[in-house]
């Protein structure tokens, strides 16, 4: 009997050892796969940056904290946010209770926060407005990423109401981000028109507080709001009367150029529109692929309306081939001057053009197609009858000869073709092509290129930054190492930044 109990005890001890061995083997895998501690540590570093920036009144630290947050947004979980709210805000306060209500409740079986760490989060001694606004921003980003748009609308509205009572320069950077996500949450639910009046009031407050970054952000949001509902006249009135100053954010400046290009296109100011759209596409970050695609779509249409044919390399840019395919076929139809092919392409991709908002502009291109075909005819024939011109242009009107004559007369008057019209005989007589280098066109082209290069050089010089008092104070080796480390981290985060604003 004692031998049997010995076997049982031996088997039980062996089983407990096996269980302990399995737990010990599973522990390293959990420590490797769990991203909670690292995420919490990064949030603590961000909180430290915000606190230092708030007390020292250094806006650049707040900017760096936002960049770190954008890089961290994919790792955000509800449990992590609950822990951070307990850490940054006073538990039981109004802001803490409101923000906690927007988050889903923690799942005890799927906790990503170490219980030893989350049980006693040491809250900050003095609750700063920067911490509260940053918590609003963090929760709002999480709700939008989780597609909880109704909660995001409520959270963004509460954050805007809180922002109206805070006037601190270190909050301006956080406020600009909140304005963007406030508009985005309403746009995702199709209620963008509801906040137009509130955006105008916020722009007025930002102007009175001399918050230039907030003015820049809110102006772009208002322009986007107007253009979303095709209110181009109101957008132009607002843009022309709003104060302009040196751009504080490259992203906001790119957006402003894009909206300005769209307004100029609708107002038939194609030259200014082309310049704005191309500049926006060049200045946009490489990560903002969708924004650059939209800029190139509108730029292609504007160049076609100007009578230019975009280069093939425009449509072969990396990551844009599929999105720009309809516009490539449209450009080919305009280049050939084939009216039937143009109609076929317009019908084939009508859904794409409507979603891009370029359908009305493509209707304007019909005249350009006819003019291009007429230019090809004038180059190929020294003399051709108007009947043949109507056939080659494939005019399907009731009186194609009369229409061809009016088209030819208008093209000659506008300088599109160098020819004469013999009304009595019904002929179009082309003049001999002269040497373009005997005209001023090469000089004009070179002047425009030189002006562009000089403008780019001047902007690069203005964008240079120098360390303060570099000629008066010699920094120590420790400070130099710290500065170089911060610059390397900043460059790394900028390179890895997933710029979702675009």
CA gap 278, 282 in Å, rounded: 6
Helical residues (DSSP H) of 381-440, grouped into ranges:
386-393, 400-414
Q: With beta carbons less than 8 A apart as the criterion, state whether 331 and 304 touch.
A: yes
Both tokens assigned to 152? 């995001």
Task: Give just the sign of the alpha carbon dihedral 75, 76, 81, 82.
Answer: negative
Among 338, 324, 431, 306, residue whose Cα is nearest residue 381: 431
User: What is the pLDDT, as a whole number, of residue 453?
Assistant: 93
List CB contacts of 135: < 8 A, sequence separation 6 or more.
84, 85, 88, 89, 95, 99
Q: Percentage helix, strand, coil, to 5, in the chain?
A: 75, 0, 25
Place of tokens 């208002």: 222
List CB contacts of 204: < 8 A, sequence separation 6 or more.
none
User: What is the pLDDT, as a whole number, of residue 460?
Assistant: 87
User: What is the pLDDT, as a whole number, of residue 300?
Assistant: 92
Residue-level pLDDT, tens digit, the chain, 502 residues: 444 444 444 543 444 444 343 434 433 333 333 444 477 888 888 888 878 777 887 778 888 888 888 888 788 888 888 888 888 778 778 888 888 888 877 544 344 444 434 444 555 445 788 888 888 888 888 888 888 888 888 888 888 888 888 888 888 888 888 899 889 988 888 888 888 888 999 999 888 888 888 888 899 999 999 998 888 899 999 888 888 777 678 888 899 999 999 999 998 888 899 999 999 999 888 888 889 999 999 999 999 888 888 888 888 888 888 989 999 999 988 888 778 888 888 888 988 888 888 888 888 888 878 777 777 777 777 777 777 777 777 777 777 777 777 777 777 776 667 777 777 777 777 776 666 777 788 898 899 999 999 999 988 888 787 666 554 455 567 777 787 888 887 776 666 654 555 5
List CB contacts of 398: < 8 A, sequence separation 6 or more.
none
Domains annotated on the chain, with CATH: 39-104+127-191 (no CATH), 382-444 (1.10.10)
Cα 426 vs. chain centroid, distance in angstroms?
Answer: 54
User: What is the pLDDT, as a whole number, of residue 114?
Assistant: 47
User: What is the pLDDT, as a whole number, of residue 454?
Assistant: 93
């Amino acid at each position: 009997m004692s031998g049997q109990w010995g076997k049982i005890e031996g088997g039980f001890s062996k089983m407990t050892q096996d269980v302990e061995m399995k737990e010990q083997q599973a522990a390293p895998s959990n420590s490797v796969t769990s991203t909670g501690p690292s995420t919490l540590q990064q949030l603590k570093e961000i909180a430290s940056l915000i606190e230092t920036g708030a007390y020292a009144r250094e806006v650049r630290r707040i900017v760096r904290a936002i960049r770190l947050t954008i890089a961290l947004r994919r790792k955000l979980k509800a449990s992590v946010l609950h822990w951070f709210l307990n850490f940054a805000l006073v538990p039981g306060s109004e802001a803490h209770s409101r923000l906690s209500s927007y988050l889903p409740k923690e799942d005890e079986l799927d906790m990503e926060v170490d219980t030893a760490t989350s049980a006693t989060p040491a809250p900050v001694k003095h609750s700063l407005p920067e911490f509260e606004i940053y918590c609003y921003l963090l929760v709002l980003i999480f709700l939008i990423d989780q597609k909880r748009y109704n909660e995001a609308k409520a959270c963004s509205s509460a954050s805007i109401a809180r922002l109206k009572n805070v006037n601190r320069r270190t909050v301006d950077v956080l406020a600009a981000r909140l304005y963007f996500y406030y508009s985005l949450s309403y746009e995702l639910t199709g209620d963008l028109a509801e906040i137009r009046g509130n955006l105008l009031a916020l722009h007025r407050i930002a102007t009175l507080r001399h918050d230039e970054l907030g003015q820049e952000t809110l102006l772009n949001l208002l322009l986007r709001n107007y253009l979303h509902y095709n209110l181009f006249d109101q957008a132009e009135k607002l843009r022309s009367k709003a104060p302009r100053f040196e751009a504080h954010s490259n992203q906001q400046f790119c957006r402003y150029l894009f909206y300005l290009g769209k307004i100029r296109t609708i107002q038939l100011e194609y030259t200014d529109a082309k310049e704005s759209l191309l500049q926006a596409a060049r200045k946009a970050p490489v990560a903002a692929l969708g924004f650059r695609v939209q800029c190139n779509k509108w730029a292609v249409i504007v160049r076609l309306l100007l009578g230019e044919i975009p280069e093939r390399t425009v449509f072969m840019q990396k990551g844009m081939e599929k999105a720009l395919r309809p516009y490539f076929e449209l450009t080919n139809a305009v280049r050939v001057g084939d009216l039937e092919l143009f109609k076929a392409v317009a019908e084939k991709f009508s859904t794409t053009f409507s979603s891009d908002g370029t359908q009305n502009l493509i209707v304007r291109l019909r005249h350009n197609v006819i003019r291009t075909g007429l230019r090809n005819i004038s180059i190929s024939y020294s003399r051709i009858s108007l009947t043949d011109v109507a056939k080659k242009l494939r005019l399907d009107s009731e009186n194609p000869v009369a229409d061809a004559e009016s088209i030819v007369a208008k093209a000659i008057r506008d300088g599109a073709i160098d020819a004469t019209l013999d009304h009595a005989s019904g002929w179009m007589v082309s003049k001999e092509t002269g040497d373009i280098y005997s005209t001023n066109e090469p000089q004009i082209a070179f002047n425009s290129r030189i002006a562009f290069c000089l403008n780019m050089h001047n902007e690069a010089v203005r964008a240079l930054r120098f360390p303060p008092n570099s000629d008066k104070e010699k920094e120590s080796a420790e400070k130099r190492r710290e500065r170089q480390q911060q610059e390397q981290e900043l460059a790394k985060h900028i390179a890895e930044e997933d710029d979702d604003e675009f």
